[in-house]
Chain A
C-alpha cells in the first residue's frame, strides 16, 4: 500500500499536534491550572494517529484514554479539547466531564468510560447497527494492554467474531497497566494471541511507526467494510510517562525507557520523511510552527472561556425529560 505524500504530512502534523497538546496539558496540570488528573499518550502517539487517520468520514471510533490523536483527527478542535481540560463551558462536554473523557457523535466519536475495554462491546454495537442496516461503515475500538484482561474485552471480541461484524479492535500495548508490567498481567507473549481464541485474525505492528499502524488499520478496515469480519491489531509501544502526570513511574526500569526513547514515534517519522526525500526540514518546521500556534490559540481560548454555572450541573440527565402535567 502506497501512502500519499499529503497523507504522510498529515500524519506528521497530527503526531506533533497530539504531542504538543498533551505536553502543554502536562505543564498546565503541574501549574495547578488543570484540576483532577492528566493522562497522556506520550510515546504512544503513533497508535491513535495511525488508526484514527485510517478511518473514513462516516466510520465510528470508540477510543480509550491514550487516543488524543483520534479526537483531533475526527475534527474535535484543540480549542474545545483544551477548554475541556479547564472544565469550561466551551469544552467538549461543557464541564460535565474532564480531560480525555471526550465524546461527540457529530464527529463519530463515542465517549470514553474509565472502565477499560467497556468500549469494546460498545463499538461492536455500532458495527452491529451498520451490519443490520446494510451500511458500508465500520467501527473501531481501542484499549490498552491492561484492558485486555477484562471481561468486556473478551465479550466484545467474541460477539464481533461470531457475527462477523464490520469491526476492528486496536490494542495500545504500552507495557504497563498503571504500575503492573505485562508479565504480571498475562501469561502469553503477545496480546494478539488472545484473538486466536475467538477465531479472529490478528496483526502485530510496531506501535511507534505511524505509517505501519495506519497501513495495518486501513487494511483491516477494508476487510471489515467488505464483509470479512473483525481484526485485532496489537500495537507494541511504550508509555514514556507515568500512568498519569502525578505518577513518576519509578517502577519502570530506566534502561527500558532509554531504549524506547530512541524509537520515539515522532523522531521516527521525521527520519522517514527526510531520508526518503518526502519532505524537508523547513517544511517540517513550518508544520511544527502551525501546531505551536494552534496550541497557543487553544489555550487562550480555554483561559478566556466562561465556567459553567452551578445550575448547569442539573441539566441534561435525561434525553427525554419526564413531562410535567
Chain B
C-alpha cells in the first residue's frame, strides 16, 4: 500500500492499462509532448511514442469519432477532453454514434472519454461545468464519477475494460487535494455499484464526486450534534445503482440528494423520483435536493461559492429534515 493523489491514481490506471493491453491508446489535445493540461499523461509520450499517445488537432468531434472508429475495429481508445466543458463539441458522436452503435446494429464501442469537470477552481462558465447531466438522458452510455483516489483508479480500469462507451468524470478540484492508500496489485471498481461511504442511521446523503467530501464535512459537524448521517457515494451515475439507493432509504427514511450539477432536470431529480416511485411508504419527510443554482458557473470567488453547494447548506438541510 502507498499513498497517491487522485490525479496519480488516474495516471497509474492509464499507464497500467496501456502496459497490459496494446489496444489501449490515448488521444486528445496536448496529451502527448506536453503531457496534458493537467499533466495526467506526463512522461507517456517518451514511454509509449506518438502512436499510442496522440496529440490531435483541436477538434473534439473529430477525435471522438476517430476513437469510435478505432474501437469498432478492436482498439480501446481513451479520449481526453482537455476540459469536460469541450465535450459539447463531441455531443453528436457520443450521443448518436457511440451510445447507439450496440443497440442499433450490435457493434460494441469500447471507448472511455475522460472529462475533467467541476468547479471551485475559478474557471468560469467554460472551464467548470458538470457535464454528466448533458448525457444522463442518453441510453447506451455509462457515466462514472469517482470521489476518491482508490475509486479513481479502479473505475478507470473498469471503464477501459468495459465494452461500452464510458464517460469518466474526473473532478479537477480533487486532482491534488486528496490522497488514498492504494494496493500494489491490480484491482477494478465495478461500474454500476454505489458504495456506503459512511454508515449512519438518521439521514441518508446520496451524492457523488467532490460533493462526497462536502457531505463528510457536514456529517462530521452533525455528528457533534448527535445526528448520524449515512453517505452513499453513487460512483456510477448511469446506470444508477437503484438497489443501493433503495436500501439506504429503507434504513434511514430521510434523504438528502447532493450534487454540484445544476438542479433542474439533474441526477438528483431522477434519484428523488425513483425514491418516491418505489419507496414512498418508507419516507418520513420530503426528499431535499441540494444542487448548484440554475445559472452558468460564475467566475468571481464570491459568486462561485454561492453557486456551489456548501457544507452549511447540507447541515441546514439535514437539520430541517431531522424534524420530521
Footprint of B on A, CB under 8 Å? 60, 62, 92-93, 96-97, 101-105, 110-111, 113-115, 118, 120-132, 139, 151-152, 154-156, 158-159, 162-163, 316-320, 322-323, 325
Select one of A115, A128, A322 contacting B66, CB under 8 A. Answer: A128
B108 to chain A: which residues have CB within 8 Å?
Answer: 319-320
Select one of A60, A105, A125 contacting B68, CB under 8 A. Answer: A125
Given A113-B97, A319-B102, A319-B163, CB of A152 within 8 Å of CB of B66: no
* Interface hit among B53-61, B126-134, B250-258, B285-293: B53-61
Given A156-B65, A162-B57, CB of A101 within 8 Å of CB of B105: yes
B243 to chain A: which residues have CB within 8 Å?
Answer: 325
B162 at the interface (CB under 8 A from A): yes
B97 touches A323 (CB 8 A): no
Chain B residue, CB-CB nearest to A322:
B192
B62 at the interface (CB under 8 A from A): yes
B191 at the interface (CB under 8 A from A): yes
The secondary-structure label for the interface of chain A is: mixed
Across chains A and B, the number of contacting residue pairs, with CB separation under 8 Å, is 155
B104 touches A97 (CB 8 A): yes
A162 to chain B: which residues have CB within 8 Å?
Answer: 57
A155 touches B61 (CB 8 A): yes
A155 to chain B: which residues have CB within 8 Å?
Answer: 57, 59, 61-63, 65
A128 touches B140 (CB 8 A): no
B93 to chain A: which residues have CB within 8 Å?
Answer: 118, 121-122, 152
B25 at the interface (CB under 8 A from A): yes
A-B contact pairs, 12 of them (CB 8 A): A60-B73, A96-B105, A111-B104, A124-B62, A125-B67, A132-B75, A155-B65, A316-B103, A317-B103, A319-B110, A320-B163, A323-B190
A122 touches B72 (CB 8 A): yes
Chain A residue, CB-CB nearest to B166:
A320
B191 touches A102 (CB 8 A): no
Q: How far is the CB of B94 from chain A (nearest CB, A)?
A: 11
A132 touches B61 (CB 8 A): no
Given A124-B69, A128-B70, A129-B73, CB of A316 within 8 Å of CB of B106: yes
Q: How far is the CB of A208 from chain B (nearest CB, A)?
A: 30
A122 touches B163 (CB 8 A): no
Q: Which of B15-72 contact A (CB under 8 A)?
A: 25, 51-52, 54, 56-57, 59, 61-72
Contacts beyond the supplied A97-B104, A110-B69: 20 A-B pairs with Cβ under 8 Å: A60-B73, A92-B105, A103-B101, A105-B72, A111-B104, A113-B96, A118-B97, A121-B63, A124-B65, A124-B69, A126-B69, A126-B70, A130-B73, A132-B52, A151-B62, A154-B59, A158-B59, A320-B108, A322-B191, A323-B190
B265 at the interface (CB under 8 A from A): no
Select one of B73, B110, B164 contacting A126, CB under 8 A. Answer: B73
Q: How far is the CB of A160 from chain B (nearest CB, A)?
A: 9
Given A152-B92, A317-B139, A322-B239, CB of A122 within 8 Å of CB of B106: no
B190 touches A125 (CB 8 A): no
Q: How far is the CB of A108 from chain B (nearest CB, A)?
A: 9
Select one of A122, A126, A130 contacting B97, CB under 8 A. Answer: A122
A92 to chain B: which residues have CB within 8 Å?
Answer: 105
A159 touches B62 (CB 8 A): yes
B296 at the interface (CB under 8 A from A): no
Q: How far is the CB of A169 from chain B (nearest CB, A)?
A: 13
Q: Which of A93, A122, A131, A323: most chain B Cβ within 10 A?
A: A122
How many Å lie between the Cα of A155 and that of B61 in the bound state? 7
A96 touches B103 (CB 8 A): yes
How many Å lie between the Cα of A46 and that of B116 in the bound state? 47
B164 to chain A: which residues have CB within 8 Å?
Answer: 318-320
How many Å lie between the Cα of A59 and that of B17 in the bound state? 28
B107 at the interface (CB under 8 A from A): yes
Given A118-B97, A155-B57, A155-B61, CB of A103 within 8 Å of CB of B69: no
How many Å lie between the Cα of A102 and that of B191 in the bound state? 30
B61 to chain A: which residues have CB within 8 Å?
Answer: 121, 151-152, 155
Chain B residue, CB-CB nearest to A153:
B62
How many Å lie between the Cα of A153 and that of B61 in the bound state? 10
How many Å lie between the Cα of A197 and that of B11 in the bound state? 37
Q: Which of B111-128 contact A (CB under 8 A)?
A: none
B105 touches A118 (CB 8 A): no
A111 touches B52 (CB 8 A): no
Q: How far is the CB of A103 from chain B (nearest CB, A)?
A: 4
How many Å lie between the Cα of A92 and that of B104 in the bound state? 10
Q: How far is the CB of A322 from chain B (nearest CB, A)?
A: 4
Q: Which of A114, A125, A154: most chain B Cβ within 10 A?
A: A125
B65 touches A152 (CB 8 A): yes
How many Å lie between the Cα of A113 and that of B140 in the bound state? 15
Select one of A93, A128, A325 contacting B69, CB under 8 A. Answer: A128
How many Å lie between the Cα of A128 and that of B56 in the bound state? 12
How many Å lie between the Cα of A316 and that of B105 in the bound state? 9
Chain B residue, CB-CB nearest to A97:
B104
